[in-house]
Each structure stands twice: as structure tokens, then as C-alpha cells.
Amino acid sequence: MPIPVIVVVPAQEPLRESAAAFAEGRAPLRDLREAFMPSLLSIDASAPAVPIGTGRPEDIGTASMSAEQSPSFAVRATANVDRMEDVPEVIDGRPVFADPRIEPFVTCGSTPALGNVAGVAAKLRLATLTAGGRGLDGTNVAVAVMDTGINFAFLSGKVPAARLDAANSWTPPNGATAPGKYPVDHGTMCAFDVLIAAPNATLLDFPILPSAVPGGSTVGRTIGTAMLAFSQLFTNWAVSFAPGGVSKYAGLVVSNSWGIYHPSWDFPAGHRGRYIDNPRHPFNLLVAAMAGSGVDIVFAAGNCGPVCADMRCQGRTTQAIMGANAHQDVLTLGGCDLNDAIVGYSSQGPSIANMFQQKPDVAAYTHFLGSEAFGAGSPDSGTSTSCPVAAGCVAALRTKVGFALTPPSNLFAQIRATATPVPGQTGWQADFGHGIIDADAAGRSLGV
Amino acid sequence: MTVRSTDGPPTIEDAARQLGVPVVAVDRAFGVVTIDPKQGLYSVQVDAAHLPADAPSDEFSGPFSDPRIEPFGPPRDAPPPDKTST
């Protein structure tokens, strides 16, 4: 098995020509394979020779390491041996070095924050959303954060202009905590991240994720809790039209940074009442009904990515986008860091069988220094963060894009069509979906 | 379970009658949850122990699962693989 190596050899004309051509950006005039190589080694003619001077640290300098003057060159080659252990240290008096594989350091759960809110705003070109009176800032748009509850005092300390509509927020049955008064936790992080792109949006607190409250209620951290909350919001928006209700807003966005980590949490495969792969489950029906009434529903893809999946995924990283997170009528978000690299935990498509396959739809930014809801210096992370970042982008667009003329399906189609593809991307792909969300481009495509 | 009504949300008693279960089997705290009023679809939570043995189980009525949900963050890295050598 050929083993990649780097060998240091004395200067020869083909090596000097290779190095000079590479430095000058032109094709070499001589074939690198004309160079004399130690036995057992085959030169890699695709890699230019690299001038390295004498190989002694005291001789390092720009002159001695030029193509014209360097007495030695490092050359990529392969050693014709069976095992890495059989590569000699020296061949024909020439030192042989390793040429190990390198990989990028993927952002995983324990990786420190990469960048901050200002960086997110710059990458998304958020200033263009409000420049010159464009006014895409979430004004008169409500964003319901379906999560652990919001601590509005903490949030206001970070975002003084934050708005919370407590009257149209939700308290679980037998719940004792008022809207906006929940402990600082995941929900506060999500609320903060919504306001990055939509600073003038009005938050609605929908605490579906706290543990079961006293009183013997069956309400807890299950799909049933989400159903209660969604139904309440749906009724308020599209059925009751109560004065001062949610229907007073120009748009309603629902941000969902939660889901099912593993199929073992659900009924077994084949059961007609299962949730994760069943468009007819009542929660999935409710999602469809809400989307049909003009509500923009945004879901996180999940944290079961192939490189560093959350431990709750139990090692399962395929068909990991499930249930309403894979619903045809929602916008599903993968996560990328501020280097535009997909984060290692971002769940990849295609979705679980029987749900819409091409998920995620797009990616948005995560793993940056933002709310610090989990402590000073802690990143806002997970696709839990990319979801509300995108929800904020949707809310910003809804400032001027009415849901009657542009229903959620059309808005999401434009978001997909105008997403920024990553290098080499053609069409949908499993990690980034259609690319990185670009609210500015989506807005322009919609004429706002 | 899903129940149907063409005249707005059914009462708990109506839902129990439709499902063939005693009223006490229907969770009043959960109530009758609107799913899709245009299709007359509503949902209730029922104690499975009270479902009739011969209750039809279909893809529209249920019973449907009520699985646990959790937030997607912060990610919890899985422990590294065990590298114990023999």
C-alpha cells in the first residue's frame, strides 16, 4: 500500500523549476518526474517541490529558501512499502518524513464560541435590512418562542428595546409562572437570537418545555404539551379573532428549537399512531393547518450530525430529522458557524422516511457569543440557535411581506431560492440544504 | 386520540362518547384541543387503559403517541470511544 511521505532531496533543476513555476503561477517547463529520487519512493508530480534551505534552523531566511538558491527541496512522494511501520527513516542518505492527513477542526458541542452577534449581523448583512428606510426589522410581527420560557428581565438587560406581549403569551395548565418570568435558560437564549435580525419584533412566551407542574396535570415535556400550545396560538390567530389578540399582528412566526432525539422515544416502527414518520399524527396535522392560515413555522433540524452528534442521539445520525422538524410546511434549519462551515452536530438530511425528504431547507448561524444565557463566555449553540436566528430573518421579512399574498410556502420557497450556496454547491445538499439563509436577497426577490 | 365535530369543538362528554370511553378517561386538564377546524378535527388525551378492547385503531382516530421532546441545545458531546487495549 503506497504510503504518503515527504522526502528532503538536494536541489535539482526539475525541482527548482517546479518551485519557481508554482511561485510565479505558471505551468512548469520541466516534468517533476525527471528529478532523481531515492529508491523505494515514487514522486508525486501533482505537488510542487518546496524549497526549504539547508534544513538547519540557523540557516532559515528568505534568500536561502528561494527556488533559485535553496540547496534542498521537500518533495511529496509515496513509499512503496506494505505498512506505515515499514517506511525507513532514511533512504539513500535522504531523510524521510511523515505526510499525515489533516482535517478541519469541526465545531462541536464543547468548542468555544466562534465569533459574536456583531459577526452574525455582518455575515447576514442585517444593516441592509433597515438601511434607507427599508424597515425590515420585525415591527408589528409576533414571534412565539416555543421553549423553556423567557426571562424577560435578563433579556432586557441584553436587548433594552425587547418587547414581550404577556397577554398573548401562554401559561401551561396549572402553571404558576407568569410569562417572561421563567428561569434564564434555553428559551431566553432563543428569544435573544430571534431579536438579532428582528429587533423590533414582539415576543410571545410559550413555555412548552418545562417539567410537569404540580397538580397532577399530564402536561409535561411531550408532544401533547406542544399541541396545547400550538392549538392555543392557532385559535387566537385564525379562529377567535379576539380584540387585542394575536391576529392584530401583521405576521406570526413560531420558533421551535426542540424535537425528538431518537426513535426509541416514540411508538415502535409500523405503529399507525407513531409521530416521527406520520404526517397524520394530530400534531403534524395541526402544523399543516397553522401553516395554511399564514403562520410561519420554523424548526431546528436537530443535533444528530454525523461528526459529533449529541449523546442523546445514541449514535444514530441518518434519517435524524423527524416529526414536525421534517414537515413539508415548515422551514427547517441546519447550523453553520461564522466560518460558513457546517457545525459537526447539525442533523443532515434526508429526513426520516415518509416525511419531506429534503431537510434541512437552509442553514443559519450558530455557536457564537450571544445571549450568554448559559454563563459568561458560553456560546449560543446547537441548531437551537440557528432556528431562532432564521425565525428573526423571517420576522424581518414579514414586516413588509404580507402572509395573505405571500403565504408561508411562498416565503420559504424564496428563502430557499435565494440562500447563499456554499462553494461547490449545486442544488440541495444534506448538510446546508439550499445554502446559508440570506434575508437581504430574499427580501429583494420579494420586492421589499 | 382525534375526534371529529362539524359544530365547533366537542365537549369532553361528546369526545368520550365518540371514543367509547368513560368520561373519567378523558384528561380534562388537556381538554379538547383544536387541530383543524376546517376539517372538524379535535384532539383529546385518553387513558389508554380505558380504551375498549375492540376499539378500531385507525390512522385518523388514533391512538397516537405522545413522545418526550427536548431542546436542541446546548449539544452534549458523546464520550470518546473506549480505547482500552488488551
Reference A253, options A141, A333, A330, A136; nearest CA is: A141
Task: Work out the average pLDDT over A36-40.
Answer: 90
Chain A residues in contact with B58 by the CB 8 A cut-off are 272
Can you tell me the ipTM of this complex? 0.84
| CA-based nearest residue in chain B for residue A265 | B67
Chain A residues in contact with B45 by the CB 8 A cut-off are 218, 224
Domain boundaries, chain B: 2-49
Residue A171 has a pLDDT of 93
Distance CA A313, CA A258 (A): 13
Chain A residues in contact with B77 by the CB 8 A cut-off are 108-110, 308, 310-311
Task: Work out the average pLDDT over B72-77.
Answer: 86
Chain B residues in contact with A235 by the CB 8 A cut-off are 34
Q: Using alpha carbons only, give the angle B11, B17, B20 rounded to the nearest 5 degrees.
A: 140
Distance CA A331, CA A411 (A): 10
Q: Which A residues, 349 through 388, put their C-beta within 8 Å of a C-beta on chain B? A: 374, 378-385, 387
Residue A218's pLDDT band, with cuts at 50, 70 and 90, is very low
CB contact under 8 A, A311 and B43: no
User: Which comes out higher in pLDDT, residue A335 or B51?
Assistant: A335
Distance CA A277, CA A263 (A): 10
Chain A residues in contact with B12 by the CB 8 A cut-off are none
What are the tens digits of pLDDT across the range B9-30? 999 999 999 999 999 999 998 8
Is residue A415 within a helix (H) or strand (E), and if so which, with residue range?
Answer: helix A408-418
Residue A82 has a pLDDT of 87
Distance CA B50, CA A170 (A): 30
Number of cross-chain residue pairs from A and B with Cβ atoms under 8 Å apart: 165
**Helix, strand, coil: what percent of chain A each, to 5?**
30, 20, 55
Chain B residues in contact with A225 by the CB 8 A cut-off are 69
Q: b/e map of A61-79 (b: 16 or more CB within 10 Å)?
A: eeebbebeebebbbbbbbb
Query: Distance, in angstroms, between B6 CA and closest chain A CA?
Result: 15
DSSP letter at B26 equals: B
Task: Work out the average pLDDT over A344-362.
Answer: 98
Chain B residues in contact with A386 by the CB 8 A cut-off are none
Query: Distance, in angstroms, between A42 CA and closest chain B CA?
Result: 35
**Contact call for residues A299 and A331 (beta carbons, < 8 A):** yes
Residue B85 has a pLDDT of 44
What are the tens digits of pLDDT across the range A265-313? 999 999 999 999 999 999 999 999 999 999 999 999 999 999 999 999 9
Query: Distance, in angstroms, between A199 CA and closest chain B CA?
Result: 23
| CA-based nearest residue in chain B for residue A268 | B65
Reference A49, options A28, A78, A79, A80; nearest CA is: A28
What are the tens digits of pLDDT across the range A168-182? 999 988 788 999 999
CB contact under 8 A, B76 and A289: no
Residue A443's pLDDT band, with cuts at 50, 70 and 90, is very high
Q: At what angle do helices A408-418 and A383-398 cross, to 10 degrees?
A: 110
Mutation to test the A interface, candidates B33, B51, B72, most A Cβ within 10 Å: B72
Dig out the grid coordinates for A408 from the structure.
408561508
CB of B77 within 8 Å of a chain A CB? The answer is yes
CB of B26 within 8 Å of a chain A CB? The answer is no
Task: Work out the average pLDDT over A95-115.
Answer: 87
What's the mean pLDDT when you consider all of chain A?
93
Neighbours of A261 (CB within 10 A): 24
Chain B residues in contact with A260 by the CB 8 A cut-off are 67-69
| CA-based nearest residue in chain A for residue B2 | A282
CB of B9 within 8 Å of a chain A CB? The answer is no
Neighbours of A2 (CB within 10 A): 13
Query: Distance, in angstroms, between A190 CA and closest chain B CA?
Result: 10
Bond preceding residue B67 cis, omega within 30 of 0: no
Residue A210 has a pLDDT of 61
Query: Distance, in angstroms, between A327 CA and closest chain B CA?
Result: 16
Using the predicted structure, report yes or no on whether residue B84 has a pLDDT greater than 60.
no
What are the tens digits of pLDDT across the range A378-402? 999 999 999 999 999 999 999 999 9
First-last CA distance in chain A: 59
CB contact under 8 A, B31 and A228: yes
Mutation to test the A interface, candidates B69, B76, B77, most A Cβ within 10 Å: B69
**Contact call for residues A174 and A218 (beta carbons, < 8 A):** no
CB of A208 within 8 Å of a chain B CB? The answer is yes
Considering chain A, what percentage of its residues have pLDDT values greater than 90?
A: 83
* Sign of the Cα pseudo-torsion (A160, A166, A167, A168, in order): positive
CB of B64 within 8 Å of a chain A CB? The answer is yes
What's the mean pLDDT when you consider all of chain B?
85
Residue A59 has a pLDDT of 72
Dig out the grid coordinates for A173 from the structure.
395548565
Residue A212's pLDDT band, with cuts at 50, 70 and 90, is very low
CB contact under 8 A, B43 and A227: yes
Using the predicted structure, report yes or no on whether residue A64 has a pLDDT greater than 90.
no
Concatenating the DSSP letter of every residue in A122-150 gives HHTTTHHHHGGG---S-TTEEEEEEES--
| CA-based nearest residue in chain A for residue B62 | A273
Distance CA A394, CA A405 (A): 15
DSSP letter at B62 equals: B
Task: Work out the average pLDDT over A249-259.
Answer: 97
Residue A217 has a pLDDT of 31
What are the tens digits of pLDDT across the range A179-201? 999 999 999 999 999 999 999 99
What's the gap between Cα B76 and its chain centre? Answer: 29
Amino acid identity of A265? W
